[in-house]
Structure 1
Amino acid sequence: MASSRPLCRPTAQIIKTLRFMSTSSSTAKNSHHNHHQQNHRFLEPHSFISSWKAPKDPKEAEARLAELRRDYAKQVKEFRKEYLIEVELMRLDKLRKDEARKEALRLQNEEKKKQKAEAAKARAQERQVAEQEFRQTLLKERAEKLENWRMKEKQREEKKKEKNELLRRKSSMWIEESELEKKILAVIVDATPL
């Protein structure tokens, strides 16, 4: 019968495994941090460290301690000044970069607007040319329709004139009512066309 004891891992092994898994999965995230840790240069050891030798006289010890504190305060003040100068330089550099980026964006936007305006102008010219061609086509069609209508009107007038002329010629052959009976009788008797 197999023992269940080997299946249980000690807590320390589980913690090591979890640490390994968490560090291996976060190496990509911490690469900048690791790079900084590997390449960071520390300051040289300061003269304050291990410089204190306890004097026998408490007043002398107090005076030396006060001097050390003053020197330390001066150095901290200088470090703060340097830090403020560095922060200000970084801020100015960031501001300059932001201004340069804004200027580049502004120039890019102006270029885009210029290109859009040129494209709109070209489209407007094309549209104007198309409208002009359309107008000319319409005028041509209207002229053709007008000419066609005039020809039809002329033909209608000619037909009307011909009809009137025919009617006039036929009306010259009209017979008066008083002679109508004689003519009808003569036509019936002679059977000759009028």
Structure 2
Amino acid sequence: MALSTSRPHHLLRRFHASARALARVEPHDFSQPSDYLGSWGERPPATVAAGGGDTREAWARLERLRKGYAREVGELRRQYAYEAQLLEAERQRKAEARAEAARVANEERKAAKAAAAQTRAAERRAFELDFRQALMKERAQKLESWRNKEKLKAQKKTDHRELLRRQGSVWVSEDKMEKKILEAIMHTTPL
């Protein structure tokens, strides 16, 4: 897939050199090849004569690089696993601390709730006891009042009967008799 077809042209314009920039003379002077590095010069005749010794050395160096890389990767993986274990242990410790704090707070809340319930129950029992005592006192007062009223009624009744008995035995003269009969008819009193 070509770059020009996959992306819009106005985005790719800055990645392409203009014709004027390509026509500009390059002011940079490149360095001459270095014999010390042997990077782009001819190979020394000794290695060529050895029959590909440079290739063997390159393969050996590549193998050493692979082993060194594998060693470094193994060390990094061990270090990462150790750090991951430390982080997991720290996370677990924090989770346990949070769970313990939540458990302690829950126990404290339950204890406070139980204490409040006990206090309310004690207050309710005291109120019920006071209420019962007040009710018993009121009932006793009502009973005493009723007994006094009954005694008073009985006393009035006996007094009235005694009065009637005494009045019944009184001799009434004939001139007052008519007046008494009219009075008895007008003001009847049940016995």
Cα distance, 1:150 vs structure 2? 1.0
Give me the CA root mean square deviation.
3.7
User: Would the alpha carbon gap of residues 187 and 86 (structure 1) be closer, same or farther in structure 2, given more than 3 Å must change?
Assistant: farther
Cα distance, 1:171 vs structure 2? 3.2
Cα distance, 1:13 vs structure 2? 7.4
Gaps of at least 5 residues in structure 2 are 1-8, 15-36, 185-191
Query: Residue 88 of structure 2: which of 75, 80, 98 is its match?
Result: 98
User: Would the alpha carbon gap of residues 69 and 167 (structure 1) be closer, same or farther in structure 2, given more than 3 Å must change?
Assistant: same
Distance 1:107 1:49 in 2: 64
Letter in 1 for 2:180: A
Letter in 2 for 1:168: T
* 1:60 to 2:51 alignment: yes
* 1:191 to 2:180 alignment: yes
Query: Residue 127 of structure 1: which of 117, 121, 139 is its match?
Result: 117
Query: Residue 69 of structure 1: which of 49, 59, 64 is its match?
Result: 59
Distance 1:49 1:142 in 2: 115
Residue 152 of structure 2: aligned partner? 162
Cα distance, 1:49 vs structure 2? 8.7
Aligned residues: 147
User: Would the alpha carbon gap of residues 49 and 86 (structure 1) be closer, same or farther in structure 2, given more than 3 Å must change?
Assistant: farther
Distance 1:91 1:49 in 2: 43
Distance 1:127 1:139 in 2: 18
User: Would the alpha carbon gap of residues 139 and 186 (structure 1) be closer, same or farther in structure 2, given more than 3 Å must change?
Assistant: farther
TM-score by length of structure 2 reads 0.61
Cα distance, 1:162 vs structure 2? 1.8
Bigger drift between 135-144 and 70-79 goes to: 70-79
Q: Secondary structure at the match of 2:43?
A: coil
* 1:148 to 2:132 alignment: no
Cα distance, 1:121 vs structure 2? 0.9
Q: Secondary structure at the match of 1:191?
A: helix
TM-score by length of structure 1 reads 0.60
Cα distance, 1:172 vs structure 2? 4.1
Distance 2:175 2:133 in 1: 59
User: Would the alpha carbon gap of residues 77 and 13 (structure 1) be closer, same or farther in structure 2, given more than 3 Å must change?
Assistant: closer
Letter in 1 for 2:131: E
1:87-125: CA deviation from partner (whole Å, max 9, x where unpaired): 111121122112112202211221132123113212321
Distance 1:99 1:162 in 2: 92
Cα distance, 1:66 vs structure 2? 2.7
Residue 43 of structure 1: aligned partner? none
Residue 84 of structure 1: aligned partner? 74
Distance 1:13 1:71 in 2: 43
Cα distance, 1:131 vs structure 2? 1.9
Q: Secondary structure at the match of 1:60?
A: coil
Gaps of at least 5 residues in structure 1 are 1-10, 17-47
Residue 109 of structure 1: aligned partner? 99
Query: What is the percentage of aligned positions where both structures have the same residue?
Result: 12
Cα distance, 1:78 vs structure 2? 2.0
